[in-house]
Amino acid sequence: MEKYGYIRVSATDQNEDRQLVAMKDLGIPEENLYMDKQSGKDFNRPEYKKMVERLRVGDLLYVLSIDRLGRNYEEIQNQWRILTKEIGIDICVLDMELLDTRRGKDLMGTFIADLVLQILSFVAESERQNIKVRQAQGIKAAKAKGVRFGRPVKKPPTDFKKLISKWERGDLPLKDLLAACDMSESTFYRRLREIRIEEKGNSGLS
């Protein structure tokens, strides 16, 4: 039997120390520790996949809590089935004694573990959804206060229209125009379209 430890931290939870300490206290070899730094919304994680490829019947996998395994209710259930039924390993969730597949392998023990897993998986996904809602609400409130998100809009130079005229006459190569404006080609053509629309609107008003 090999002992493995899986650690996951997300962009909003970057401190993996607590999980690492817990795994080292269990005497898990460093080469059997796998850590991903990404969201728990699915199991498309490089280190998790590497670990699963190494797992064999009878191995034991430790995770600190069910939300470190993942936060998607259906996918946690599916992965749990793959790990315990198809591969045939045991799983121990350290902060939930009932989620230790080594205990109570009779019908009642399995039923209780499955029930606890469903409840905790549901809680993990609910928290993930709540985080998304809070983020969306925060962004909406910030926008209402005038906070701008994304890259700042690059303003064209003050002589932009003169440079365009020279380019249209063939007096200024496009690469020189882009260099003078410090713009990419796509940004230049977008700004050009905006100017043409603006000019068309002004001519319609006159």
Q: Give me the active site residues, please.
A: 10
Would strands 60-63 and 90-93 be described as parallel, antiparallel, or unpaired?
Answer: parallel
Report the b/e string of 53-68 with b at 16+ CB within 10 A: eebeeebbbbbbbbbb
**Which sign, positive or negative, has the C-alpha torsion 64, 7, 80, 71?**
positive
Continuous H helices in the chain: 17-25, 46-54, 66-69, 73-81, 107-144, 160-169, 174-181, 185-205
C-alpha distance from residue 76 to each of 57, 88, 99, 198 (Å): 20, 16, 13, 53
SS3 call for 1: coil
> What is the largest distance, in Å, between two alpha-carbon atoms of the chain?
86
